Chain A
Amino acid sequence: MATLSDRFNINAQLEHLQSKYVGTGHPDINRFEWNLNIKRDTYASFIGHHSLTAYHAIAENESTGRIKYNFLQNMLLPCGLPPEKEDEA
C-alpha cells in the first residue's frame, strides 16, 4: 500500500505515467527508443486523421485501406532493428 508521501514522490508519479501513457520518457531513454515512440505516434496520427491518410494515398496511388494497413504494419518496426545492448558494466 502506497503511503501519501509515496504518491507525491516524483518517481512514483513518473512510473504511474509511464505505465498509463505509452511513450512517456525516462532518464535512461536512448535515441532509438525516443525515435520509436515518435514514429509510432506519427503513424497512429496518420491513421486517425483521414485527410493525412488520403494525402499519402494520393502520393502513392494506393487505396486508403491499403495505406492504413501499411502504416499499421510499419508500427511493428518503425525504425529498423534495435541497436545491440551495451552491457552495463
Chain B
Amino acid sequence: MHLYNLTLSRPSAITCAVVGSFSAPKVHEIVAARGQTLELLRPDEAGRVQVVHSTQVFGVIRSLTPFRFPGSQQDYVVCGSDSGRIVILQYSKEKNCFAKVHQETFGKSGCRRIVPGEYVAVDPKGRACMIAAVEKSKFVYVLNRDNEARLTISSPLEAHKGSTLCYGITGLDMGFDNPVFAAIELDYAEADQDPTGEAASEAQKHLTLYELDLGLNHVVRKSSEPVDNGANMLIPVPGAGDGPGGVLVCAENFLLYRNEGHPEVRAVIPRRTSLSGERGVLITAACQMKIKTGFFIFVQSEYGDLYRVSLDYEGEQVKEVKVKYFDTIPPCTSLCLSRKGFLFAAAEFGDHALYQLASVGDDDEEAVEASSATLMQTEEGYAPVFFDPRPLRNLEPLDKLESLAPILDMKVANLANEEIPQIYAACGRGPRSSLRVLRPGLAVTEMAVSPLPGNPTAVWTIKKSAADEYDAYIIVSFSNATLVLSIGETVEEVNDSGFNGNVPTLQTQLLSDDSMLQVYPAGLRHIRPDRRINEWRAPGRKTIVKAATNERQVAIALSGGEVIYFELNPQGMLVESEKREMGGDVACVDVAPVPEGRQRCRFLAVGMFDGTVRVLSLDPDSTLKVLATQAVGATPESVLLLDSPSAGKEGTDEGAGAGALFLQVGLVNGVLLRTEVDRVTGQLSDTRTRFLGTRPPKLFAAAVRGERSMLALSSRPWLGYSDQGKFNLAPMSYEALDYAAGFCSEQVPEGFVAVARNTLRVLTLERVGEFFNQQALRLRYTPRKFVIHPDHKVLVIAEADHAAVPLAQREDLQQQQQPPAAMDTDAPAQQQDGIAGPEADEEAAAREEQWGTPKGEPGQWASCVRIVDPVALQTTHCIELGENEAALSVCLVAFESQPEMGTLLAVGTAQGLKFYPKEVQNGHVRIYRFLEEGRRIELVHSTAVEGVPGAMAAFKGRLLVGVDANLRLYDMGKKRLLRKAEHRKLPTRVATLHVAGSRIYAGDGQESMHFLRYKKADNQFYEFADDIVPRHITAALHLDYDTMAGADRFGNVFVSRLPPEISAQVEDDPTGGKYAAQTGIMGGAPNKLTTINNFHVGETVMALQRAVLQPGGRELIVYGTINGAIGVLYPFTSREDCDFFQHLEMHMRQEHPPLLGRDHLAYRSFYFPVKDVVDGDLCEQFPQLPADKARGVAEELDRTPGEVLKKLEDIRNRII
C-alpha cells in the first residue's frame, strides 16, 4: 500500500510568534511558527488578523527572533530549528514568500540536548546573534552589512560550557559598545558526582554575561553571578539613553532587575488570592515596546495574568521595580505588542486573540501593584502581594483566530445527513475545551435574509457611477417583472432608477460612461447618465435569451441562435457592430471585464445546446469569428471567463499558470470544466474537470479579497478564488442558492447578494483561506475520548481535568450562582440534568475562558460524562463524577447475556490518579443505560478495578477492558461486572483496543501493537503477534483483519500488517494459537508484524479515522494532531500515480529543499525511515518553484508544468 499524505488544515497552535516589520517598512506584522508551518500574519486596519503567507518548512521551528540593522526599517527573522543550522529569513514582498538569506550549519539535526536551536537572541542593534542549546552549546554569529547593504554572517564563535544547563538567553542593550548576551545557567557537574546530594541541593543558577569583542572577534565569558534559583526567563531592558540597560530576570514569584555592577532589585509578582501557597507564579511570556518617551514591558504568568513592569530609574541606576496587575487573558506561548497598540496573544491551547491596548494602566488606581520599595521580608520569606483577577479593563478584544489545538479525539461521521460527513473534534483544555464540528468549506455569515413576493429568477447589484465605492441598487428579476431596490441605510424599493419594472430582466450593467443598461427579452434599455433612454428592440419575433456585458461591450444571443455584438462608442451610444448565426441555440454567453488600459476584452465565450463551447473573437478586424471550439460532452449551463490568480502582476514566479485566462464552464451534469484560453490566439487547452454537485453549476463573478473570483452555484455553492497564487475551489457551507451577485456596501464591504427560492440574502465570507468551518459547543473539562451512538446519533464525551476543582466544591461558583438560580425557572431542571455548569452560561463561560478555573491539588480530578446532540449541537445530559474519579475511556457495549438491556455505555474512570510517579487508588468501570432515545443516561452499576481502565471495547457480547497492562473480559452482572477471563502479559499499559472476529488488537503505551486471540474453549487469550519496534501508541485504527494503522507520541504514523501466511497459520491452528503463543522468545510473541507504511507527521497524532470525504470518493485515513492539524493519508489507486508522485517528491526534495534547512527525507524519517508514503505537502509546493526549475522538474517527469499542476489538482480533488 502506498499512501499520499496531505495536510488539509495546517496546525492551528502557535508555538512562537514575533512582531516586526517584515514585508515593508512601518507595517506591523507577526511571524508565527505553527509547528512545522511558518506564517506571516498582518492585523489590518479593522483589527482583523489576516494570514498573508503560510508555508510548510518540514522541520521543527523552535525559536524565532526578529532583528534589524540600525537605520534600516525592515526586520529579518532568525530561526532556531531542529536542522542543526541557523537560518536567517527575509520576507520578499515581490515573491510573497520567505526567502532564505543565510543558512549556516553548526551541528547535527534533531532536537538534541547539545545542538543549539532551542534559544535564539539578538543584539538589539542587530550586530550579532546567539543561538543556544538546552545544555552546553552556544554559538555567536556576527552579523554585518556589505557594501551593497546585503546581510553577511560570520563563522560561529563558540561560547560553550560543559555540563551546564541553559534556561534562557537574551541580548542586552549596550548601545554601540560590544554586544553582550546574558544567560541563566545551572552547572550540574558536581551534583552528578556527589552521592550525598549536598551538591545538588546547593546547585546555584548563575546569570552569565557573554561579551562579543567585535575588535578581537572573540566571545568572552565576562561574568557569572549567582541568581535566584527559580530563574527561568530573561527580558532585556532598553539601555543606551533609552533606559537603564541591564536585564529583568523572571524567577518563580519574583522579578529581579540585574545589571553589571548594579545591586539586585527584587520585586514580588502579585499572586491570585485563590492560589494555593504551594504553587509558585512563573512568568512564561513577555513582550516589550519602545516608544519615544520610554518603554513598556508586559509579562504574563502561567495562569494568564498580565502584569506591567515599570522601572523607576535615573541614568543607569534603577531605584525601584514595580509590577502592576494589568489584565488577565488565557496563557500564551508568545505575546506580540505592536506599535499601533495591538497585542497579539498566541494562546498555548485554544483560540488566539488580538487585543487593542485601550490604556497602559497608568490611571488604574485599583490595580494591585508590587514594588521593590515595599518588599517585605518575613521569616517565611518575602511577603506576597495578592490580587483577584477582574474582567478586561485595559485591553479590548478585536479579533479571534480559531484554533483546534489540541485535538484530543476526533471522529468522522455523517450524523446530520449531509452530502459529506462532518468531522467531530474534541478540542481544547480545561475551561477552554470544546466540541467542534468541522465541515470542509468556507464559513458564510448571513447578514440579512428578506422575503420577496414570488420566486425571483435573477439578481444583480449595480453602482451609480464607476467611481462609486458602494453598490447603489439591487435588481431582482422575476419571471414577469423586475424589482429595483436601492441600497442605503435600509434597502427599499424605488421606481426612479430608470429601469423598466414591467419586464423580466436578463442582465444589467453599469457602462464606463456611467450609463446603465438593462437587457430584457424584447430588447436593450440604455439609461444614459442624464436619464435619457435609448431603446434597442430585438428584430422580428425573436427574443433575447442570453446576454453578456462588461463596461464597454454587450453581446446578446437571440432565440434561434443569432449572436449580436454591441460596443459603446465614444459618444456614449451602444452601437451594433456585428451579428452572427451560430447554427444552433445558444445556452450561455460570457465576456470578461475590459482589462485595464485596453479598449475591449478580446474574447466572447458562447456555450451551445449542441454540447460545445466556442470562443469568439471581439477584435475589430475579426469580430465574432470563431477562434476555438471545444466539445464538452453535455450542455453547458453557464460559462465564465476568469483571469488566473495574480495575472498581470509582476515578479510572480508562478510557473505555467501565470497570467493565463481561464474559461470556466458549468455543465448540466454538475461538472465544472476549467480550460485555459491562450491570450493571443484564443485557443483552448489543458482542461480540468471537477464535479460540483447534482445541480448544473451557475457561474458568477464576484470580488473576494479585492480579486475577481468565481461563485459556482450547484447543489451547494462553491467559491473559486486565488489563494497565495493558486486557484482554489472551495465549497461554501451554505444551502443551495439560485442566483448570486457581488455586493458591496458600507456595512458589507465585500459580500454577495443571492436569491434562494423566495428570499433575498446578503452573505459574507469569514476567513477565506481556512479549509474547514467550525461550529463549537463549549465543554466543561478537557475531553479525553468520545463515542458516537450509531442508533440514537448522539455523542458521549468523557471529560476530565487533573489538578482541577470539581464543580460541587467550587466555592466561587456557588456564591455566584445562588441568586440567579432562584429567579430562573429553568435552573432547577438544568441543575437536575447537570448541564448547568459554567459552560452553559455565557457570562460564566467567558469568565472561565479568560481567567481559567481555580487550581486544585495534584491528584485531584474534576470530571464529567456528557451526552451531546450533534445536530442541534446541544448538551442533553451531563453527569459530574464525584470522589476524585476521572473519566478516561468510553465505549458502547451490548451484552449477549442480557439482551434486554440493549446497548449500554461503559465509562472507565481512574480514582485519584497521580503522576510522577504514576499511582492510582482505584479504577472503575461504570455502566450506564440510555434513556429517552439516548438523550439521557442512568447509572446501572459501577465495578471497581485495581488500575486505570485506559481502553475498552465490546467483544463477542462482552466487555473487554484494558486495566493498566492487563486485559480483562467482563460480563454483565446484576450488581457489578463479572470477570470472565484475564490476560496479564502486556508490557506497559493498554492504550487502545480494537477487535475483529476473535482477534484483539491492543495498542500498548510504549510497546506498539499486540495481536491477541481469544479461545472460547480455554477461556483464554493468546498473544500471537507483536511489533518489532517500540512505539508509544496514542491512536490506532483497524484497517483490515491483518492490518492496523497507528500513531505514536513522537509524531509518527504507521501501518503494520501480519504477513498473510502467518495469519492463515494462526487461523488454521487447531489449538487456537495456544501452541504458537508459547514459542515466542524473550517474552515476546512468536510472530512479528511487518511495517507497511511509516511516516513522521511532525506532531503527535491523537486520532485516526477512516472516512470518505467526498460523495463517491475513496476511503482514506484522516488524522488529527495535538497542534490542531487535520491531514489525510490517501491510498494511491494506481501504480502510475504512485510512481509519478514518488518521482515528483524526489525532484522536489532536490530542487526545493525545505526553508529551514532540514533535509526533507530525514525529517519524514525522524524516528523510523519513511516507507511508501509520498509527502503531498512537499509536492504541492511545486507551483512555488521558479519557472525554469519547474520546467526542469516537469521535463524529468516527461510532462509539462501545466500537466504536473493538473495532476496535483486532480489528486486533491479526489481527496476532498
Contact = CB atoms under 8 A, between A and B. Distances in A.
Nearest to B1123: A51
A31 B436 CA distance: 48
A54 B60 contact: no
B549 interface: no
9 contacts: A23-B113, A51-B35, A54-B405, A61-B782, A69-B232, A72-B232, A77-B188, A77-B191, A85-B195
B77 to A, nearest CB: 18
A41 B136 CA distance: 13
Interface in B719-768: none
Contacts of B283: 65
A83 B134 contact: no
B1208 interface: no
B1205 interface: no
Contacts of B782: 58, 61
List 5 tightest A-B contacts by C-beta distance, closest first.
A65-B284, A48-B111, A44-B113, A51-B1099, A63-B302
A48 B195 contact: no
Interface stretch (B266-274, B651-659, B798-806, B890-898): B798-806
Given A44-B111, A65-B285, A75 B162 contact: no
Interface string A14-58: 000000011100000000000010001101110111111011011
A51 B191 CA distance: 30
Interface stretch (B196-204, B453-461, B579-587): B196-204
A58 B406 CA distance: 9
Nearest to B800: A61
A66 to B, nearest CB: 5
Given A41-B112, A58-B1122, A62-B302, 13 more contacts: A22-B114, A48-B62, A49-B1099, A50-B60, A51-B1100, A52-B1100, A54-B406, A54-B1100, A57-B349, A58-B782, A64-B333, A65-B302, A66-B284
B1121 interface: yes
A60 B915 contact: yes
B1049 A48 contact: no
Interface in B258-311: 282-285, 302-303
A84 interface: yes
A75 B185 CA distance: 12
Residue from A41, A69, A85 having most chain B Cβ neighbours under 10 A: A69
Interface of B: 13, 15, 35, 60, 62, 82, 111-114, 117-118, 133-136, 162-163, 165, 167, 186, 188, 191-197, 200, 203, 232, 282-285, 302-303, 331, 333, 348-349, 405-406, 408, 429-430, 782, 801-804, 915, 1049-1051, 1098-1100, 1121-1123
A76 interface: yes
A81 interface: yes
Contact of B117 (A21, A36, A48, A59): A48
A55 B1123 CA distance: 10
Contact of A76 (B62, B188, B285, B801): B188
A61 B802 contact: yes
B118 A48 contact: yes
Nearest to B284: A65
Given A64-B348, A77-B200, A41 B113 contact: yes
B1123 A52 contact: no
A69 B232 CA distance: 7
Contacts of B284: 63-66
Contact of A47 (B118, B162, B203): B118
A81 to B, nearest CB: 5
B195 A82 contact: yes
A54 B333 CA distance: 11
Given A22-B113, A48-B60, A76-B200, A54 B134 contact: no
Contacts of B188: 75-77
Contacts of A60: 802-803, 915
A75 B406 contact: no
A61 B430 contact: yes
A8 to B, nearest CB: 22
Nearest to A56: B915
Nearest to B197: A81
A81 B782 CA distance: 36
Contacts of B331: 63-65
A81 B192 CA distance: 8
A72 B82 CA distance: 18
A24 B74 CA distance: 44
A45 B1050 CA distance: 10
Contacts of B35: 50-51
Nearest to B186: A76
Contact of B165 (A75, A82, A83): A75
Residue from A51, A69, A72 having most chain B Cβ neighbours under 10 A: A51
B112 A44 contact: yes
A77 B801 CA distance: 29
Residue from A22, A57, A61, A69 having most chain B Cβ neighbours under 10 A: A61
B333 A55 contact: no
Nearest to A69: B232
B591 to A, nearest CB: 52
Contacts of B302: 62-63, 65-66
A49 B135 contact: no
Contacts of A85: 195
Nearest to A48: B111
A62 B35 CA distance: 20
A61 B117 CA distance: 27
A57 B816 CA distance: 30
Contacts of A44: 111-113, 133-135
Contacts of A45: 111-113
Contact of B13 (A48, A54, A84): A54
A49 B60 contact: yes
A75 B13 CA distance: 27
A51 B195 contact: no
B82 A48 contact: yes
A47 B1098 CA distance: 15
B1134 to A, nearest CB: 34
B113 A40 contact: yes
B411 to A, nearest CB: 19
A30 to B, nearest CB: 12
Nearest to B285: A65
B25 to A, nearest CB: 32
B349 A54 contact: yes
Nearest to A74: B916
A57 B348 CA distance: 10
Contacts of A21: 114
Contacts of B303: 63
Contacts of B1051: 49, 51
B58 to A, nearest CB: 15
Contacts of B1099: 49-51
A62 B82 CA distance: 25
Nearest to B1034: A55
A52 B1049 contact: yes
Contacts of A43: 134
Contacts of B333: 64-65
B1066 to A, nearest CB: 35
A51 B1166 CA distance: 14
A48 to B, nearest CB: 3
A76 B405 contact: no
A41 B430 CA distance: 30
Contact of B15 (A50, A59, A62, A63): A50
Contacts of A62: 302, 803
